[in-house]
A and B are shown apart, each in its own frame.
Chain A
Amino acid sequence: MVAASFEYVSAASYDEAVQRLVEHGEDAKVVAGGQSLVPMLNLRIVRPSVLIDINPAGSRPPEVEGSLLRLGALTRHRTLLEDPVVRQHCPLLAEAVRHVGNVRVRNRGTIGGSLAHADPTSEIGASALVLDADAVVRGPASSRTVAVRDLFVSYLTTTLEATEVVTDILVPVLAKGQGWGFREMVRRSSDLAIVAVAARVDLDDAAEVVRSVQVSLAGVSDRVVLADPALLAGLIGTSADEASLARIAAEVADAVSPESDVHASAAYRRRLVDVLTRRAVRDAFDRARGVEKAA
């Protein structure tokens, strides 16, 4: 497998990448880690005439700014997995990335590239969604901030303009009384998720009952999605007891319409949503209580 020929442009900065995108328009494609894009180039599923390599723009270490963790778009998965700042302030992201690819993929893959690629089975996409992360995006005229929940449109499709590049990801840091859960089913470790579920739970001040809960699902649609808040509302005010959790997870599973493919049937995926949602929310609730105790 060899990619069709293309012109290679190395962009030393995000501004230069944007400028090149303006020059070449839809014919150009930005490559970051390339762990998803390059296989598609090699298989000629994608045939850009110009490949803009954003890697030379470089990245900086993860940094906490007030209540936000700022991650450069080129932050490698390996950094998300190992960096102490990320592990402390955004442990869900670190845990989710543990399930992504393998050592080599994590050494090259980037958070910005992963979100821009918009794979519907993305662990990083599911985590960014459930954490209410924002993407900072640069275009020809200016930068703008787009909520990750407004980013994904469909399979490998985002709301980004053809001339825009992701420069930063802003993730709210783990707050007091907040817990997270991440559960995934794969046939072999490092495979793409059949279904992955990320959960975030915030407790009330007494750390007894759920104040708010959010759940995201990967592998059940043409994009990673948030579970309907109306379905989860039944958990608010409860201590996420088994009966409430079982009822609501079943409703979340009923609400998805996954497709059958070579990896799993729609019915199996729906069943996974039920089981993994229960476990992820349970983990999040337990962690939220643990955080309170430790504080």
Chain B
Amino acid sequence: MTAKRLVTLRVNGREHALWLSPSDLLVDVLHDELGLSDVRYGCGEGVCGTCTVLLDGEPINACLTFAVQVERREITTLLGLMGEDGSMHGLQECFLRLGALQCGFCTPGMILTAHDLVERVGRPSRDEIRYALIGNLCRCTGYTKILDAVEEYCAQAAPDGGAAR
């Protein structure tokens, strides 16, 4: 057994000091140690997207990252996109309004991935949204409403078509 070490993780703007083994996966630490129920273990091999978190703003697989690898880097989960007072992010509101979720298991990953796309592209096309979300599986909605919700959010956020385009 390899000795545990004290690791400092920065999650949603807060620092946490944790005793971790090198083989502890980021998804398990966030979910089990820090109680972040918006980070979910799905397939365990980087395919399904339910464990998506942002590492310095970019979506990664928390199931394929050891927590020791991301010490002192900025980790953002869906909760980190919400307001201090628990108010919802605009993407969450669009998902709710357009019925883009049923069981909700995939939703945090969907929203974090869509968030990254919108941050980079501004006003993505439907095909660009589809391509960005290829790696996020949903077993309830059939995807159409998810694409609708992201499109709706982009239309609100960048009504003029987006600066970068």
Contacts and interface: CB of A to CB of B under 8 A. Distances in A.
B23 interface: yes
User: How many of chain B's residues touch chain A, expressed as a range?
Assistant: 20 to 34
A104 B46 contact: yes
A42 B61 contact: no
Interface stretch (B63-71, B92-100, B146-154): B63-71
A1 B136 CA distance: 20
B22 to A, nearest CB: 3
A3 B68 CA distance: 14
A107 B58 CA distance: 7
A137 B103 CA distance: 49
B134 A6 contact: no
A102 B44 contact: no
A39 B59 contact: no
Main secondary structure on B side of the interface with A? mixed
Interface string B47-75: 10100100100111101111011000000
A189 to B, nearest CB: 5
A102 B45 contact: no
Interface string A127-161: 00000000000000000000000000000000000
A7 interface: yes
9 contacts: A2-B23, A6-B2, A8-B69, A41-B23, A102-B46, A103-B116, A104-B113, A107-B58, A108-B60
Given A4-B23, A5-B1, A5-B23, A101 B46 contact: yes
Contacts of A39: 44-46, 64
B22 A103 contact: no
Contacts of A102: 46-47, 49, 134-136
B132 interface: yes
Contacts of B1: 5
Contacts of B65: 34, 38, 108
Given A2-B23, A39-B64, A42-B25, 10 more contacts: A1-B44, A6-B2, A34-B64, A34-B65, A35-B61, A38-B64, A38-B66, A102-B49, A103-B134, A104-B49
Main secondary structure on A side of the interface with B? mixed
Contacts of B55: 107
User: How many of chain A's residues touch chain B, expressed as a range?
Assistant: 20 to 34
A285 B2 CA distance: 56
B61 A189 contact: no
A108 B64 contact: yes
A265 interface: no
A236 interface: no
Interface string A175-203: 00000000000000110000000000000
Contact of A104 (B21, B28, B44, B59): B59
B135 A51 contact: no
Given A39-B46, A42-B25, A53-B69, A103 B64 contact: no
A289 B64 CA distance: 43
A189 B134 CA distance: 7
